[in-house]
Structure 1
Amino acid sequence: MDLRELKKLREENFLAHKKKKREYYLKSKLEKKLERKSTKREVFDYESHLGGIDFNQRIKDIIRQQKQHVDDRKDRIVAKIKEYKSKKREYYIENKDKRLQYDKEYREEKKEELREYRRRYYQKNKDKILEKQRKRRKQQKDKE
């Protein structure tokens, strides 16, 4: 066998494998779809569940159960929040130098663009900015 025949044989085997794999995938997908259809969800009958006893009392019982569930998990929830905050703080402390370096490089890169943006922004909002400055100066004079 020469190289061309080997490549051709390899490609045929690969395509046959790919076809077999695809058929298996489609078969399992169809099985799952049929499985889902066969197990219909049970319709919950609210009338029988809530109608027999006092409605308000039943709602209060449900609320009490939910509150108890949350209270039972409260310690774990608070612990997870604290753990997340500490991990976040550690991450920021760890990567502070990288972040500062990145910000510095970004500012250097975009220096002219930022300068132009600030100039346009100031021109556009000149009256508002000057009015705010006048008010601040006036307030400072009144305090003194």
Structure 2
Amino acid sequence: MDLEELKRLRKENFLAHKKKKREYYLKKKIEKTLTKKRNKVKEFDYETDLNPLNFERKIKEIIKQQKEHVDNRKDKIIEKIREYKEKKREYYIENKDRRLEYDKEYREQKKEELREYRREYYQKNKDRILKKQKERRKQQSNNKE
């Protein structure tokens, strides 16, 4: 065996070992997460929990837990809302000029587009519009008499 073949064999063996090791750790990791999930999932006895006698009590327990959770987080929620409002106000103040300039450009653009649309519409329907206008004038003149 020459040196190159030895290097190749060593590399193949090392890669095979690495692959085997990785598969082992991935398998263990999956098993570990599955056992954690199994431990976390609480099994319910639906016969006792959902019968008419215990159902109302169970609902009250759930409501109480949810209320406690919200009450515990109330200060954090209020703080986040206040921070959001503050950030929003700062952003508004910071970008006021840029936004006003954008709004102005947007209105001008829309105004031009509307003018162009009206011009094209009038050109397309010129005969029909003029005919309607003549009819209206005749009706108005007849109504005045």
- TM-score bin (small chain): 0.3 to 0.5
| TM-score normalised by L of structure 2 | 0.48
Which has more radius of gyration?
2
| TM-score normalised by L of structure 1 | 0.48
